[in-house]
Amino acid sequence: DAGVTQSPTHLIKTRGQQVTLRCSPKSGHDTVSWYQQALGQGPQFIFQYYEEEERQRGNFPDRFSGHQFPNYSSELNVNALLLGDSALYLCASSLRRASYGYTFGSGTRLTVV
């Protein structure tokens, strides 16, 4: 039973560039949520996708956007990267947006230089 898969595991980008992170949810899950975890802090909610639409959004600028595909996988895009975007980006999947059953991936470590 495949868990949540994220790619790439590590990434280094230059300020101003754009980046795309990918997430495949746990088998049987249809909802994907993205979190940003800065070094030494707890994760912060970015947004959630269900039925290929953004359903909820946290306090993040429009530079952060996403997409969900028919197979439930998801992408997180960040434009015009800032040094402050350096963080661990976690993907969590669940079934029908249930808040009690999230499964997390191991994250993508993004470093902006």
* Site for other proteins, rule CB under 8 A: 31, 33, 35, 40-45, 48, 50, 55-56, 58, 88, 90, 92, 96-100, 102, 104-107, 109
Which residues of 1-113 form beta strands (DSSP E)? 5-7, 10-13, 19-24, 31-37, 44-50, 53-57, 64-68, 74-78, 87-94, 103-104, 108-112
In whole angstroms, how close is the CB of 5 to other proteins at the nearest point?
11
Give least dist CB 14 to other proteins, A.
Answer: 24
The token pair at 10 is 């590590």
32 Ramachandran zone, left/alpha/beta (phi>0; psi -120 to 50): beta
Between 17 and 106, CB nearer to other proteins? 106
| C-beta of 44 vs 65, nearer to other proteins | 44
Q: Is the peptide bond before 8 cis (omega within 30 degrees of 0)?
A: yes
* Nearest distance, CB of residue 15 and other proteins, angstroms: 24
Residues paired with 109 in a beta bridge: 10, 88
Choose between 81 and 90: whose C-beta lies nearer to other proteins: 90
Shortest CB 71 distance to other proteins, Å: 20
